[in-house]
Structure 1
């Protein structure tokens, strides 16, 4: 009986979300060029993409800016309906959310001062202070390397400032935002490393398959119609 009630509850929750005229979407606007603040407005590739998806499924999209490590709790407590935040699909996250098909592929890199010559790969990070953003993939990767002094920050800009100020020796970040931050901050460079390919996807509440099916269908149409390629050119040149 409890199992049946649980299934009915999941179906009901999915139906409630689909019946809403507005979908609240959580992001973390410190991950340029995917999502970032400009003139008081949240913009970026992810924001344009989710708005196009909203048009396809007939929903108004309202963006909520939330700390990255607060996105999953916000989804689980129904404060938001979806997450789009350059979020990597992982087995651990799949325990708590239902992911869409991936919409972007990335990898990790190391950011160091321009005059740094001893850090050349992940192994050379041992005995170094390495900045990561709480909850990001870099945070998870560094945790597996022994001998690294991991320093967690709430945002990528905070970690970048710490690196420029000499408070840390290096920083781990996704490749595309890393390129954006290095381009805007003189005196930094990127070290390419061997890392697993990561897939970014949109997250919905666990077992909300109906909403994810609609998101996936919209993604397919957006790619087939060339809209996705237009957004890539717009945001990544």
Structure 2
């Protein structure tokens, strides 16, 4: 998970929120609504665009994760109910059965695997490079040695690029500042988290730049279920596979990040 995102989570409030949710998310399957249809109760920390967020004036939560879990629920034949929970309270809410699943740009790691089970990965993050479209000399992170690099201040990319031999790192306030500096010729490359680069280029219809396939770090995001809930996990993995096979996943990906280069 990106370091900058989870600084927003407030532990005490999140735990109180998790405990305060009424109802039970089900044992080995999702709960049923009053109409008799099965309901998949989803927990997310809705403060991480473009994966989950809520624009002013919008009633529904938006983002890549939100579209994906609704598509998964539809494939499973379940209604989807999304609850906004502070990040630190998500796993406690899952363990308390207040929700059935978590989808929130959550990195699959060994520590979390001790308390939850993860689906197959649905997104691979990591640091990527953006260069000018006509750039031929930079093809990988090794080629950044001795180059001028723009990064967003306070991010993982700022820390990681400073160890590149001979690199001159410019820390700027926003992704927009980084891309402006690149286009103006003030730097040779921009390094940021993959979704930050992809989302900014896609939503702002940036031209004259390209994202390189090389990735300095790699993080897989997964959907979490309660430990041992193999029945629900299997249904989620099956639905996710179907969405990838029938092209629906690629449509959702393209909506938020542009045409997919890998997955």
| Aligned position for 1:136 | none
The alignment partner of 2:28 has SS state of helix
1:58 & 1:31 partners in 2: Cα distance? 27
Confirm or deny: 8 A CA contact 1:18 1:211 kept in the other structure: no
1:44 & 1:71 partners in 2: Cα distance? 18
1:1-237 counterparts in 2 under 5 A?
13-15=27-29, 17=30, 21-38=38-55, 39-40=57-58, 41-108=60-127, 111-113=151-153, 121=161, 123=163, 174-177=193-196, 180=199, 195-237=216-258
The alignment partner of 1:105 has SS state of strand
TM-score by length of structure 2 reads 0.56
For structure 1, which runs of at least 5 residues remain unmatched after alignment? 1-11, 125-158, 161-171, 185-191
| Aligned position for 1:139 | none
Confirm or deny: 8 A CA contact 1:51 1:61 kept in the other structure: yes
2:31 & 2:244 partners in 1: Cα distance? 23
1:79 & 1:195 partners in 2: Cα distance? 37
| Aligned position for 2:132 | none
1:84 & 1:92 partners in 2: Cα distance? 17
Can you list the C-alpha shifts for 1:44-98, whole angstroms capped at 9, x where unaligned? 1111110111111111101111111211111111111100011110000000101
The alignment partner of 2:43 has SS state of strand
Deviation for aligned residue 1:32 = 1.1
RMSD of equivalent CA atoms: 3.2
Confirm or deny: 8 A CA contact 1:75 1:81 kept in the other structure: yes
1:32 & 1:92 partners in 2: Cα distance? 25
2:220 & 2:123 partners in 1: Cα distance? 6
Confirm or deny: 8 A CA contact 2:27 2:97 kept in the other structure: no
Closer/same/farther in 2, CA of residues 90 and 24 from structure 1, 3 Å limit: same
